[in-house]
Amino acid sequence: MSTDLEQRIARLEAREAIRQLVFDYSTAVDDRDFERIAKVFCADSTFGHADGRDTTTGRDAIVEFYRTRTGLMGPTYHYPHSHRIDFTDDDNATGTVLAHAELALEGTTYQVGLRYADTYRREDGAWRFGSRTICFLYFMPLSELINGGLGAPDRKRYPDVGPIAADLPETLATWRAAKGLD
| pLDDT band of 119, cuts 50, 70, 90 | very high
Q: What is the CA radius of gyration of the chain?
A: 18
37 pLDDT exceeds 60?
yes
For domain 2-178, give the fold: Nuclear Transport Factor 2; Chain: A, (3.10.450)
pTM of the model as a whole: 0.93
Average pLDDT value for the chain: 95
The one-letter code for the residue type at 154 is D
Distance CA 28, CA 2 (A): 38
Among the residue ranges 19-23, 114-118, 160-164, 167-171, the one predicted with the least confidence is 160-164
At CB < 8 A and 24+ separation, what contacts does 144-151 make? 145/111
Distance between CA 89 and CA 72 in Å, rounded?
Answer: 39
93-116 tens-digit pLDDT? 999 999 999 999 999 999 999 999
With bands split at pLDDT 50, 70 and 90, how would you rate the model's confidence at 137? very high
> What does the pLDDT look like over 65-101, one tens digit per residue?
999 999 999 999 999 999 999 999 999 999 999 999 9
The per-residue pLDDT for 2 is 63
Instruction: Sheet containing 126-141: give its strands across.
Output: 56-57, 41-49, 126-141, 108-123, 92-105, 73-89
Residue ranges covered by each domain of the chain: 2-178
Least confident of 28-42, 132-146, 147-161: 147-161
